[in-house]
Amino acid sequence: MLTSVAQWLRDTANQFAHYHSLLGADPDLAALVKAVINNEARYVAQFPYCGAFQPPPESGLPTSRNEWAENVIVNPPVDPKIVFECKYEIDSLCGFLKLSRAYHAATGDSSFINTHWKTAVDQIFRVIREQSQPSFDENFNFISYFNWTGSRGSLSPRVNNRGNNEPKAYTGLVGTSHRPSDDLTVFAFLTPANAMLSVELGHLADVLDQVGDLKNVSTQAREWSARIKDAIWQTTVQENIFAYETNGFGGRYVMDDANVPSLLSLPYLGFLEKDDETYVATRKLLLSARNPYYAAGKNISGIGGPHITPWHPWPMSLVSSIYGTDDDTEILNALYMIANNTNGLGLIHESQSIYNGSDYTRSWFAWANSYFAEVVLDLAERKPHLILKENKAYRPGQWT
């Protein structure tokens, strides 16, 4: 069995999310998260298009072979001694920003804003500028800043159009070649990833304003946050329904994928309120047969994605659905569905067949388990009567 020692920006941010409220009370935990931010800053500063990295040299851990990255040509070139895999996904950069601002909010410590971190943020804006441009200029010169080309024998499929992704027109959105599931996008503008980017850029500006540093970066962050948010509302919504992906030419893909950021998770991301009428209408569609990746069985129903099969919903989508409603019945149904589909292991899987309870992928999917812990803490504060003996809101760290 191939064992890898690697760090994904996205997964790291998600697996720390349920600890955010404890960072101010636990110095050791805070020190760990700060170290992670410092390490990730070095990665992003060097390779902002990449999302998974080898252990830092200080760890003394060996680098790992990634068979899925073999025979893949990436441009800009990467160093395999540093980069484990270089699939370009917007949410990886958002994960780094989210972990940074959550740490600051909980601890008030801004010492992570060092040279590496500032360079990483500059590189994030570089990616934003590059990937928001149209595929063709006015003279029909093709513009490409990132290329992922799989050669013969590679396990990972190459990005379309000789590694350059699907053509896109300018809309104000930021393009991406891969989804948070690591699958290829159909159209370059992934709505939920852009929603997360808009939110995190707003938080970035808030942090910089609070510490009184990098005013020009703060201004730039607010401008891009507003531009992306406006573009989402202006170019992805038709008949009160968000498209999952668009291309600026009129192409729309109405679906959802379980992996966060997703359309179902927009309230969790902080992009809108759960009672927003466009979200409510979109949510209704996503949790129905009108979503090609929604599946319903006797014991489990939910949203999956092309990463596995259309009949393997991911419990992660049930967690997102809880964040998107205040209806007690819907929340309890989702909680029981999650708890009753662990095949007796007591841990949340990556995906689960609607036909067979023992047909699942990943017996312990760390991201999904962390996400579930996060929503349990959310319910303990938002709806304590559903999960606690006393109907009294609870937040970690509030011991009596």
Q: What is the pLDDT of residue 3?
A: 56
Q: Which two tokens stand for residue 221?
A: 């962050």
Beta strands 252-253; 245-246: pairing state: antiparallel
Beta bridge partners of 183: none
Burial class (CB in 10 A: 0-12, 13-18, 19+), 80: middle
Output DSSP code: residue 245.
Answer: E
In the three-class reduction of DSSP (H, G, I as helix; E, B as strand; rest coil), residue 193 is classed as helix
**Per-residue burial over 375-395, b = 16 or more CB atoms within 10 Å of its CB, e = otherwise:** bebebbeebeeeeeeeeeeee
Q: What is the pLDDT of residue 1?
A: 41
Question: What are the structural domains of the chain?
Answer: 7-254 (1.50.10.10)
Output DSSP code: residue 173.
Answer: -
Burial class (CB in 10 A: 0-12, 13-18, 19+), 56: middle
Output DSSP code: residue 184.
Answer: B
Q: What pTM was computed for the model?
A: 0.96
Q: H-helix or E-strand containing 237? A: strand 237-238
Q: Rounded to an integer, what distance in angstroms lies between the CA atom of residue 362 and that of residue 128?
A: 33
Phi, psi of 72 (to 5 degrees): -110, 130
Q: What is the pLDDT of residue 153?
A: 62
Q: What is the pLDDT of residue 2?
A: 47
Distances (CA, A) of 192 to 74, 147, 312, 328, 370: 25, 22, 21, 26, 20
Q: What is the pLDDT of residue 400?
A: 44
Q: Give the list of residues 6+ apart from residue 2 with CB closer than 8 angstroms, or none.
A: 65, 67
For residues 360 and 349, the answer to whether their CB atoms sit within 8 Å is: yes
**Could you read off the pLDDT tens digit of each residue along the chain, which spans 400 residues?**
445 689 999 999 999 999 999 999 999 999 999 999 999 999 999 999 999 999 999 999 999 888 878 888 899 999 999 999 999 999 999 999 999 999 999 999 999 999 999 999 999 999 999 999 999 999 999 999 999 987 666 677 889 999 999 999 999 999 999 999 999 999 999 999 999 999 999 999 999 999 999 999 999 999 999 999 999 999 999 999 999 999 999 999 999 999 999 999 999 999 999 999 999 999 999 999 999 999 999 999 999 999 999 999 999 999 999 999 999 999 999 999 999 999 999 999 999 999 999 999 999 999 999 999 999 999 999 999 999 999 999 988 765 4
Q: What is the pLDDT of residue 156?
A: 79
Q: Which two tokens stand for residue 203?
A: 């938080």
Closest CA to 318 of 345, 295, 344: 295
Burial class (CB in 10 A: 0-12, 13-18, 19+), 207: buried
In the three-class reduction of DSSP (H, G, I as helix; E, B as strand; rest coil), residue 13 is classed as helix
Peptide bond into 80 cis (omega under 30): no
For residues 245 and 179, the answer to whether their CB atoms sit within 8 Å is: no
Peptide bond into 261 cis (omega under 30): yes
**Per-residue burial over 287-305, b = 16 or more CB atoms within 10 Å of its CB, e = otherwise:** beeebebbbebeebbbbbb
